């Protein structure tokens, strides 16, 4: 029997990058995976490739920042699956700007997707997770949550909030057998880091602060998420697990 047999797992932002790697890994471990994304085509493609490899996956489109979208998704999930065992709040966006230059629309959009989205998904899915008696929620924070990097102030602030959300939610939901943890990736080789990869000076700086001297791989984040989703981590809750090649920010 695989580690996640009989589990239903939902991953937000599952169409590409870390989300797609997480979907593939959870399916490999035996879960029935719901691949949600704001982009229908990438969610479809990810689910198709999992099914082609004999995994179980269903694509569903949802903008996690919109109450109406999330509420419709939850209704569909209730009738089609009846329960959710694992929720991975992965979807996120990244905007770089100094606070003085950050415009209000960008501020609102980042808060809506990166903070309100996980809140809406969690609040509305808890009624499907609690009855399982052993749910797992994994949030996606970042090493920037602790580093407060210049020009990424809003992103850092929100990822700190996700870390805090993780710990308080873990305390609140423990009575329902739900464990809540977060992964804090360092710099991982995905589209989100294209501008870093294109900037050799910046890349040298990041590598100088990364003892393992390389970008992480999406599969290395997926492995941590799979562990935190499974019974292998049954006594771990309220933790923020850095998966960052030892990245240390000196500022």
- Given the residues 155, 176, 247, 251, select the one marked as catalytic: 155
Q: Please, which residue, 75 or 234, has the CB nearer to ligand NAD?
A: 75
Number of Cβ atoms within 10 Å of the Cβ of 63? 19
Task: Check binding of 96 to ligand NAD (CB under 6 A).
Answer: no
Smallest distance, ligand NAD to C-beta of residue 180, A: 16
Task: Check binding of 23 to ligand NAD (CB under 6 A).
Answer: no
Residue from 142, 166, 181, 210 in contact with ligand NAD (CB under 6 A): 142
CA 95 to chain centre: 17
Task: Check binding of 192 to ligand NAD (CB under 6 A).
Answer: yes
- What SS3 class is residue 231? helix
Cα–Cα distance list, 182 to 13, 67, 94, 224, 226 (Å): 16, 23, 18, 10, 12
The rounded distance, in Å, linking the Cα atoms of 33 and 9 is 5
Task: Check binding of 163 to ligand NAD (CB under 6 A).
Answer: no
DSSP 192-221: GGHHHHT-HHHHHHHHHT-TT-S-B-HHHH
Do 242 and 211 form a contact (C-beta atoms < 8 A)? Answer: no
Query: 202-241: which residues touch ligand NAD (CB under 6 A)?
Result: none
Q: Is the dihedral of CA 3, 8, 13, 16 positive or negative?
A: positive
Residue from 63, 85, 147, 173 in contact with ligand NAD (CB under 6 A): 63
Residue from 11, 64, 125, 228 in contact with ligand NAD (CB under 6 A): 64
Residue from 55, 92, 135, 245 in contact with ligand NAD (CB under 6 A): 92
Smallest distance, ligand NAD to C-beta of residue 61, A: 8
Do 88 and 129 form a contact (C-beta atoms < 8 A)? Answer: no
Pick the piece of the chain touching ligand NAD (CB under 6 A) from 11-19, 125-133, 165-173, 205-213. 11-19
Task: Check binding of 118 to ligand NAD (CB under 6 A).
Answer: no
Residue position matching structure tokens 């490999």: 28
Pick the piece of the chain touching ligand NAD (CB under 6 A) from 32-40, 77-85, 126-134, 232-240. 32-40
Residue 184 falls in which region: left (phi positive, over 0), alpha (psi -120 to 50) or beta:
beta
The footprint of ligand NAD on this chain (CB under 6 A) covers a number of residues equal to: 31
Let me know if 155 is a catalytic residue.
Answer: yes
Gyration radius from the chain CA atoms: 17
Smallest distance, ligand NAD to C-beta of residue 248, A: 15
What is the set of active-site residues? 155
Where does this chain bind ligand NAD (CB under 6 A)? 12-13, 15-19, 37-39, 42, 62-65, 90-94, 113, 117, 140, 142, 185, 187-188, 190-193
């Amino acid at each position: 029997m695989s580690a996640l047999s009989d589990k239903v797992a939902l991953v937000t932002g599952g169409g590409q990058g870390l989300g797609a790697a997480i979907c593939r890994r959870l399916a490999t471990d035996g879960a029935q995976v719901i691949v949600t994304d704001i982009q229908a085509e990438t969610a479809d493609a990810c689910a198709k490739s999992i099914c082609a490899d004999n995994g179980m996956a269903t694509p569903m489109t949802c903008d996690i920042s919109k109450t109406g979208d999330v509420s419709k998704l939850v209704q569909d999930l209730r009738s089609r699956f009846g329960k959710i065992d694992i929720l991975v709040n992965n979807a996120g966006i990244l905007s770089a700007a100094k606070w003085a230059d950050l415009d209000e629309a960008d501020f609102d959009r980042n808060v809506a997707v990166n903070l309100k989205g996980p809140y809406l998904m969690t609040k509305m899915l808890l009624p499907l997770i609690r009855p399982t008696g052993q749910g797992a929620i994994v949030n996606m924070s970042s090493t920037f949550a602790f580093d407060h990097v210049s020009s990424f102030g809003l992103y850092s602030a929100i990822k700190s909030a996700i870390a805090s959300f993780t710990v308080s939610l873990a305390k609140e939901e423990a009575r329902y057998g739900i464990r809540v943890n977060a992964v804090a990736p360092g710099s991982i080789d995905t589209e989100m880091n294209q501008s870093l990869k294109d900037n050799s000076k910046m890349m040298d700086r990041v590598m100088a602060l990364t003892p393992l001297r390389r970008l992480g791989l999406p599969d290395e984040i997926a492995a941590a998420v799979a562990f935190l989703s499974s019974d292998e981590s049954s006594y771990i809750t309220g933790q923020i697990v850095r998966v960052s090649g030892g990245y240390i920010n000196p500022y």
